[in-house]
Structure 1
Amino acid sequence: MITLENINKTFYTSEVETRALEDINLTVEKGEFVAIMGPSGCGKSTMLNIMGLLDKPTSGWVIIDDVRADSLYDRDMARIRNQKLGFIFQSFHLIPSLNVLDNVLLPMLYRRGSSASANRKRALELIEKVGLTHRLKHFPSQLSGGQCQRVAIARALIGQPKVILADEPTGNLDSKMGAEIMDLLVQLNREGTTIVMVTHDERLAEETGRIIRLFDGKLVL
């Protein structure tokens, strides 16, 4: 599904050169649930952003579904992000002025040729799946953190992505809510969704199928 080949990422300022990732080689297979772990600042989120085509490596190649991303124009990478990848962030990134239904539908506004009625039907099914049918018309400010993350998961799934990339999806939640979100991700993986998740929580990582560890920008075997 996703392959990183000889990935290096360096951030430059006028005075400092920071090597965030060094010689990363990694393949995530279809149907896997992979956890990425490591201390703060080790490159976890940077690697996830490169996987999701939100950032470009300084050198190396990202291959998604047999397509090398470095050969694509920006509009083609945007299409892959919209059609093949789903994103879940620690801070939810919901639109405050949109209710639950409209937040879930948002990614479909950028997909050409999609049917509005079919999109709405799928959105309602996903909202039911994450247990929020009774909050359909509520706005993010009217929801708990756990409910906001459930909306974010439904939004990530609306486009039927092949891979979910989750960056600390339980990081802003208490342990009970975090466990509920993790249970939902495990269920999605059992249904066939490939998931890559950054986490600091060893207990959550142990519920996945494989743990990848980073230290100072390098994979630790």
Structure 2
Amino acid sequence: MIELKSVSKVFQTKDIETRALDDICLKINSSEFVSIMGPSGCGKSTLLNLIGLLDQPTAGTILIHDTDVSRMSDREAARFRNKSLGFVFQNFHLVPSLNVMDNVELPLLYGRVAAVERKERVKEVLNMVGLSHRMKHFPSQLSGGQCQRVAIARAIVGHPEIILADEPTGNLDSRMGEEIMDILLELNELGVTVVMVTHDEHIASKTGRIVRLLDGKLV
């Protein structure tokens, strides 16, 4: 499903070269739930961004379904992300001026899905995350846990094969964090591949495999 072949990422400024990832070789199978762990600054989010086509590696190759995604143009990458990937971030990234339904609908607008189908899909995923009664509420009217549920609904409304989650429980209390994990585990049981960055050993222990990074290398 996902394969990284000798992937490195170097950030270069005028005076400093920072090697965020160094010769990463990693395979993630279809329908796996994988946690990426390690200390702050070890390259976890950089790795997730590369898999998510939000950045390109300095060296190496990234394959998703045997397609080399590591050198796609911006337009090709955007099209691939919209079709195959769903993103869940620690800070939710909801649009404050849009209600819950409109926030969740956004990826379908970019994907040019017909209006009737958009509404049906949004209602379906909001029901899945337990927020069908909050469709007309705005992010400012929701708790942190509810905002993260909206973010998950937005991530899955396009029926992606892969969900990339960057500290999805990081801003939540333990009870809300457990609820968010339950949703991700349920999605994984339905066949969705989940790759999650986390600092939380307890949360990571619920996943199928833990990948650890240190100083940009797999350990």
Q: Do these two structures clear the TM 0.5 threshold for a shared fold by scoring above it?
A: yes
Match of 2:209 in 1: 210
Structure 2 stretches lacking a partner, 5+ long: none
Instruction: Quote the offset at 1:13 in angstroms.
Output: 1.1
Instruction: Quote the offset at 1:177 in angstroms.
Output: 0.5
Match of 2:176 in 1: 177
Match of 1:107 in 2: 107
Q: C-alpha deviations, 1:168-218, integer Å up to 9, x for none?
A: 000010111011101111111111110000000000111000000000000
SS in 1 for 2:179: helix
2:156 is aligned with 1:161: no
Q: In the alignment, is the contact (CA less than 8 A) between 2:36 and 2:195 conserved in 1?
A: yes
- Distance (Å, rounded) in 2 between the aligned partners of 1:29 and 1:123: 28
Match of 2:19 in 1: 19
Q: C-alpha deviations, 1:52-84, integer Å up to 9, x for none?
A: 000111111111111101453221111110000
- Distance (Å, rounded) in 2 between the aligned partners of 1:110 and 1:41: 33
Mean alpha-carbon deviation: is it higher for 42-51 or for 65-74?
65-74
Q: In the alignment, is the contact (CA less than 8 A) between 2:61 and 2:70 conserved in 1?
A: yes
Match of 2:10 in 1: 10
- RMSD of aligned Cα (Å): 0.8
Structure 1 stretches lacking a partner, 5+ long: none
- Distance (Å, rounded) in 1 between the aligned partners of 2:72 and 2:140: 38
Output aligned runs, 1:50-129, within 5 Å.
Answer: 50-112=50-112, 114-129=113-128
- Distance (Å, rounded) in 2 between the aligned partners of 1:19 and 1:70: 18
SS in 2 for 1:63: strand
- Distance (Å, rounded) in 2 between the aligned partners of 1:87 and 1:125: 18
- Distance (Å, rounded) in 1 between the aligned partners of 2:27 and 2:80: 18
Q: C-alpha deviations, 1:74-121, integer Å up to 9, x for none?
A: 211111100000000000000000000000000111113x22111110
- Distance (Å, rounded) in 1 between the aligned partners of 2:165 and 2:177: 13
- Distance (Å, rounded) in 1 between the aligned partners of 2:71 and 2:183: 35
- Distance (Å, rounded) in 2 between the aligned partners of 1:175 and 1:120: 32
Q: C-alpha deviations, 1:12-37, integer Å up to 9, x for none?
A: 11111111000000111100000000
Instruction: Give the TM-score, by structure 1 length.
Output: 0.97
Instruction: Quote the offset at 1:144 in angstroms.
Output: 0.2
Q: In the alignment, is the contact (CA less than 8 A) between 2:57 and 2:70 conserved in 1?
A: no
Amino acid at match of 2:13: T
- Distance (Å, rounded) in 2 between the aligned partners of 1:120 and 1:62: 34
Match of 2:133 in 1: 134
SS in 1 for 2:31: coil
Identity across matched positions, percent: 63
